[in-house]
A and B are shown apart, each in its own frame.
Chain A
Amino acid sequence: GENVEQHPSTLSVQEGDSAVIKCTYSDSASNYFPWYKQELGKRPQLIIDIRSNVGEKKDQRIAVTLNKTAKHFSLHITETQPEDSAVYFCAASNTDKLIFGTGTRLQVFP
């Protein structure tokens, strides 16, 4: 079945720096790749997603890139702010289920 690996598990950056989180997926049929943000004690919420017919998507300070050949996708956060501190989950879907990575805890220090 589908497997999604996510790295790193923790990431600490200084405010204003960029942060990059990487994921790889196993099922080449996967065609939908969302990213969810979970703040401490809160529910996961979608922040950006990309479909397999697109290589890159941007939304203000966040962007996602997809390399279908290598079966990996990445989340890029620029000009990080303390409120970006959270756990970020990547996910992949090829049918009726969404399989998540193990999460990356991002800490942004002022």
Chain B
Amino acid sequence: KAGVTQTPRYLIKTRGQQVTLSCSPISGHRSVSWYQQTPGQGLQFLFEYFSETQRNKGNFPGRFSGRQFSNSRSEMNVSTLELGDSALYLCASSFGTPQFAGELFFGEGSRLTVL
């Protein structure tokens, strides 16, 4: 069974630009969560989607947004990029809520560099 797929794997942008990252979850998984990983800050929760609905959002500015499609694929968008947005963005899928479904399956991430 195919794992979680994230595209693109690497990208370089300049300040002020916007970026869209894509995540295809494991077949049958309806929950998709996004995390930002930076050295020293660990995995910071961005948002979680289930059946096309955003159920939870982390403490990130409104420049960070996302959506989920009917096939459970998800995208996240960052507008007006800042240098501090440089990070590895990880997507994770699961059958449902973490407390009930348990394991999150992570993708390999999209490494964003903002110059």
Contacts and interface: CB of A to CB of B under 8 A. Distances in A.
Do chains A and B interact in one complex?
A: yes
A103 B42 contact: yes
Interface string B32-52: 010100001111110010100
B92 to A, nearest CB: 8
Contact of A31 (B42, B56, B99, B108): B99
Interface residues of A, number: 26
Interface of B: 31, 33, 35, 40-45, 48, 50, 55-56, 58-59, 90, 97-99, 102-104, 106-109
Given A97-B45, A100-B35, 15 more contacts: A6-B42, A9-B40, A31-B99, A32-B99, A32-B102, A34-B103, A93-B98, A96-B50, A96-B97, A97-B56, A97-B58, A98-B104, A100-B43, A102-B41, A103-B42
